[in-house]
Structure 1
């Protein structure tokens, strides 16, 4: 497109935008008049009940006389408190993600023999289809790894000899292959992105037998394949904490919506990836790190609470940062007093900060966590209980591990693919399942068609 054509196109778009805004204004009063559950949430902030699940549960409050009462957060995988799950494998000094994947998929903790067989199954399915990396990733690089992941997941349909078979054995086969392959796709997409967009040398590494998912990921994304056991254990912990978060989170619900239509697993998972990419969902950890870049630059004394509060106030008033008016990493739709994922990660982040000599930066994160409720009250008059969510500390953990920001949200997907597959299979095989179809109130007035020459 030539410059003159670009200018003409831009001018036409401007006029089209004005036309759209003129004819597409919805009166906000309609939402209250018709009792619309915006965001599929009730007036008290609770979610609209859309289904039942045995996979995961998120608890952050209890209802008393119709009012939400804040409570310490709990995250439950198949009836097991995630804190107990973490204490179990950390206490035994072993990796936990593969065990967690088995639990979420099949509903029961594996025996030692079952876990070993499942780990071998994942290893056997690491390899991408012949020429997949060359044809689907290298030949069509993307500046965004999540975009490339979504397209690659969709492309796997073409490499599957039986993509539309909805039988349970086939669905489980596809799920296990996706869990095994998504980390490899992410690693390759990241390497290709760095090569074509950042002018770096291209290094593609194959997963190694005998390594955990966390170990293989670090092995694959680093040019020299080097990583420490502390890094691998901490990444494994992050994967466990991100593996599942109930059926109502945006990406899992997107997966269930598509699955309810009877479409293939690749379409359903690609939709979930697209959802997770959004800054209001999985992309929030990148926004946290971006925000702290502004804070670290704008606050001269990181130990001065008044200076930190002043800058947080500027963030809320849209005078600093990305001008969104948000303090990323604070607050959650369900959790009130605490996010258990943040509590667990914070403990390990403190230990890593001491090892890396980053105590001052860690204390700045703690200060933002501690001061945000006070600033919200003074600037916006909001007195509701607000806690740090997992994104506040996950980004810092990744930073201390030397993981680039481009991989923060893709790592979330590497973990959450387990929860998505579990919800996909549950949605398809639950009794009496129906296509998910909520209602929208039409508010446009009726009018007659006007012939073209009379407009």
Structure 2
């Protein structure tokens, strides 16, 4: 047996834990309660995710989802800037980081600060992005964030003013780093042209990203949709894996760049930031195997095959349907779907959009039949339509999760500031119960 194989078997064997012991010691695996709700580990003023209410019997009562940023409901927040015909991500970031909605003067000064920070130091962009290229944009983004530490003379300063300065700088630079990393990656590994555009100070963050990616080849609707996607992905409470990672690492009193790099590592995971790619891959499989997309009976039969692990990837999952908290609806999905319909019409992809709508309706019904129960109420989540939107925008799959990061860094920054400056903050250190047996040491020549 090869050494690595033998070591691997030994490592796996020693990691095994009797699953019954989790019940014996009342361990909340995944920090989840028995009803799959999250274990309460902290308090926050930043975001709130509502998907159900508690009945008198303690059971969850499904409700239409609500998402709050600093107390403002996401639908009302979104309708506000859309009614003015302007983009809202910068305003949303201001709200998350400062706790207040900006007036016109505050918003202009805030966006001016963002524009001042967009240009990357030449040595950093050359050495960390364009020369030291990688196949995964998330890894390149994390590496570059750590590199920004070396360019910050006050990297270890934990005063609120400095934390906000660092937050604005990261917010401004994420789109630039992602765009540059993408072109560096595709030049090295896909043998395509290297195109580097400097950010345009006259554009919003969403427009700038499209400009750096596509030049002037984008429509107003495309920019509006990307801006909306950024707003909807900017924050989702302190319990999501990457925001919790930010708080865990920040609680140890490390620097901002280390904390955000750790959050990026979390978001990169397929169970967190890569969900919309899973949806896209599933939809490509459905489009290939369902001959008549308008035939709901045929669509329903194929979804049933997926649930029975007889189609697609054998996981038994309809990706993009269901959420850990939302039940009757995900407000982010509702808002994104409205604009996705307009975009599908603009791009001539209405048949495909209609297929999405059919699966949105038929997926939960197929799931209830498969389970023989409707006790767990499910609906589409934001990932169900976001991948389709990015496809329509002409954005490559390699950038789906990095776009998530471009948005979520606003929430991460807010959680880091709250964790570092809160008077009740302490290092996060949960307990693990050791269940191994005690053993006597044996001399090496007697083993």
TM-superposed deviation, 1:275: 0.8
Corresponding position: 1:48 with 2:29:
no
Residue pairs, 1:8-157, within 5 angstroms: 11-64=2-55, 65-157=57-149
Contact 2:62 2:328 in 1 (8 A): yes
Provide, for residues 281-307 of structure 1, a one-character-per-residue CA deviation record: whole Å limited to 9, x for no partner: 111111111111111111111122222
Deviation by residue 1:196-252 (Cα, 9 ceiling, x = unmatched):
111101001110111100110000012x44221111111111111111111111100
**Other-structure match for 2:249:** 258
Find the counterpart in structure 2 of residue 161 from structure 1.
153
1:55 Cα deviation after fit: 0.8
Deviation at 1:113, TM superposition (A): 0.6
The equivalent residue for 2:395 is: 403
Deviation for aligned residue 1:319: 2.6
1:74-113 alpha-carbon deviations (Å, 9 max, x no partner)? 0101111110011100011011011111111101110101
Counterpart for residue 5 of structure 1? none
Partner in structure 1 of residue 416 of structure 2: 424
Counterpart of 2:434 in structure 1 is 442
Question: Superposition pairs for residues 218-237 of structure 1, below 5 Å?
Answer: 218-222=210-214, 224-237=215-228
Question: In the alignment, which residue of structure 2 is the partner of 1:4?
Answer: none
User: Which residue matches 2:266?
Assistant: 275
2:302 aligned with 1:315: no
TM-score (norm 1): 0.96
Match of 2:295 in 1: 304
Supply the distance in 2 between the matched residues of 1:313 and 1:285 (Cα, whole angstroms): 21
* Conservation of the 8 A alpha-carbon contact between 2:222 and 2:343: no
Per-residue CA deviation, residues 256-281 of structure 1 (Å, 9 max, x unaligned), is: 00000000000110111111111111
Q: 1:142 to 1:118 in 2, by over 3 A?
A: same
What is the number of equivalent residue pairs in this alignment? 445
Residues in 1 aligned to 2:306 and 2:22: alpha-carbon distance in whole angstroms: 29
| Residue 173 (structure 2) aligns with | 181
Within the candidate set 320, 323, 334, 1:329 is matched to 320
- 1:285-337 alpha-carbon deviations (Å, 9 max, x no partner): 11111111111111111122222222222222333222322211111111000
Equivalent residue for 2:405, pick from 399, 409, 413: 413
Pick from 336, 342, 348 the counterpart of residue 351 of structure 1.
Answer: 342
Of the candidates 233, 246, 259, which is equivalent to residue 237 of structure 2? 246
Deviation at 1:371, TM superposition (A): 1.3
Is 1:365 equivalent to 2:349 in the alignment? no
Residue 375 of structure 1 is matched in structure 2 by 366
Question: Residue 382 of structure 1: CA displacement?
Answer: 4.8
Q: 1:328/1:119 Cα in 2 relative to 1: closer, same or farther (>3 Å)?
A: same
1:102-161 Cα deviation digits (max 9, x unpaired): 111101110101101111110011011231111001221111111111111111111111
CA distance, structure 2, for counterparts of residue 22 and residue 150 of structure 1: 33
Shift, 1:57, TM fit: 0.5
Runs of 4+, deviation exceeding 6 Å: none
Structure 2 residues without counterparts, runs of 5 or longer: none
2:186 is matched with which residue: 174, 186, 194? 194
User: Are the equivalent residues in 1 in contact too, given 2:47–2:235 (CA < 8 A)?
Assistant: yes
Q: Distance in 2 between matches of 1:376 and 1:30?
A: 31
What is the alpha-carbon distance in structure 1 between the residues aligned to residue 370 and residue 435 of structure 2? 36
In 2, the alpha carbon distance for the partners of 1:349 and 1:198 equals: 30
Could you list the runs of 5+ residues in structure 1 that have no partner in the other structure?
A: 1-7
- Matched position secondary structure for 1:131: helix
